[in-house]
């Protein structure tokens, strides 16, 4: 297996959390992964930035290549990840949030990689996301859309044991953890700045990939813990609720004509309370 990948990781005022992810990524070199790491700091406070800079100085040799970009302002998930798209030197990209809790070995990544190898038209392979504090509960096995453009996390709140550990095709997946083909990304372009700094930029890109003939897959045999909403709680100039409504309106206006063809869920399928359906035995 060709173990070469470009990894994208963003930080804003959460150095300790980011360093935990970095330590897990650095350990992959002992399993012969060749990693180009692109780490973007989105305008953190000086103390937080210094912690990250100290780690980079002490650990940069643990990667094949490390690019550390310290921005004086918040480029957002859109701008920060677009830097990765522009600078990536590998054929596959691993897009990560800094609030994922990665396993200590690379079995999870090897499985996502093999799933992509088995599906030539897979542009993105994502894992099942589970709650970090309740890992037996599903956070998302991809994203579904209603015919009016409302977003829902598939299987959210269900027991992981009630969800088949197979590979499913979805219309989109959260960017907390994406394994992505570089050629697919290059075909459809960057994250759109109209969704700066975050919210709906991932769904929009997945739709563009879908319309270009690519697939987004979720491999439910891989479970990754995700703390959720760490980045958005640090965006004081962008209140989360207001941002979600504003970008949601832009998203629905942009895709209004095709949303009925993209719909995979009904309004009643949408659940945001994480534990409301834990007792369900229904399978996707």
pLDDT digits (tens, 9 = 90+) for 124-145: 999 999 999 999 999 999 999 9
Per the rule left: phi > 0, alpha: psi between -120 and 50, beta: everything else, 4 is beta
Confidence of residue 240 (pLDDT cuts 50, 70, 90): confident
Closest CA to 8 of 71, 72, 92: 92
The count of domains in the chain is: 1
pLDDT of residue 280 exceeding 60: no
Q: What is the pLDDT of residue 30?
A: 87
Q: Is the pTM of this model over 0.85?
A: yes
Other beta carbons within 10 Å of 189: 11
Domain that holds residue 195: 4-269
Written as six digits, the tokens of 33 are 């992964």
Residue 275 lies in a domain: no
Q: How far apart are CA 265 and CA 36, in angstroms?
A: 37
pLDDT tens for residues 165-204? 999 999 999 999 999 999 999 999 999 999 999 999 999 9
pLDDT tens for residues 88-120? 999 999 999 999 999 999 999 999 999 999 999
Residue 10 lies in a domain: yes
Residue 119 lies in a domain: yes
Q: What is the CATH number of the domain that holds 98?
A: 3.90.550.60
pLDDT tens for residues 4-36? 999 999 999 999 999 999 999 999 988 999 999
Residue 281 lies in a domain: no
Residues 6+ apart with CB under 8 A from 261: none
Residue 84 lies in a domain: yes
Residue 88 lies in a domain: yes
Residue 134 lies in a domain: yes
Residue 251 lies in a domain: yes
């Amino acid at each position: 297996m060709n173990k070469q990948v470009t990894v994208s990781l963003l930080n804003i005022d959460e150095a300790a959390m980011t360093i935990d992810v970095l330590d897990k990524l650095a350990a992959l070199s002992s399993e012969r992964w060749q990693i180009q790491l692109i780490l973007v700091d989105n305008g953190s406070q000086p103390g937080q930035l210094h912690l990250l800079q100290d780690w980079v100085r002490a650990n940069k040799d643990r990667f094949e290549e490390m690019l550390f970009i310290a921005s004086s302002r918040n480029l957002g998930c859109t701008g920060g990840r677009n830097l990765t798209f522009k600078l990536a030197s590998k054929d596959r990209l691993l897009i990560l949030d800094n609030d994922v809790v990665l396993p200590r070995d690379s079995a999870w990544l090897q499985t996502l990689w093999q799933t992509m190898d088995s599906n030539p038209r897979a542009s993105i392979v994502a894992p099942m996301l589970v709650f970090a504090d309740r890992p037996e509960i599903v956070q998302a096995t991809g994203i579904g859309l209603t015919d009016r453009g409302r977003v829902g996390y598939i299987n959210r709140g269900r027991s992981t044991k009630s969800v088949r550990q197979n590979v499913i095709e979805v219309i989109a997946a959260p960017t907390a953890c994406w394994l992505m083909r570089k050629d697919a990304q290059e075909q459809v372009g960057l994250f759109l700045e109209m969704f700066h700094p975050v919210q709906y930029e991932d769904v929009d890109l997945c739709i563009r990939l879908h319309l270009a003939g690519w697939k987004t897959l979720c491999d439910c045999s891989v479970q990754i813990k995700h703390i959720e909403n760490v980045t958005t709680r640090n965006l004081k100039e962008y209140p989360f609720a207001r941002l979600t409504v504003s970008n949601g309106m832009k998203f629905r206006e942009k895709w209004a004509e095709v949303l009925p063809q993209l719909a995979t869920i009904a309004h009643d399928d949408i659940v945001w309370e994480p534990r409301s359906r834990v007792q369900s035995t229904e399978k996707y």
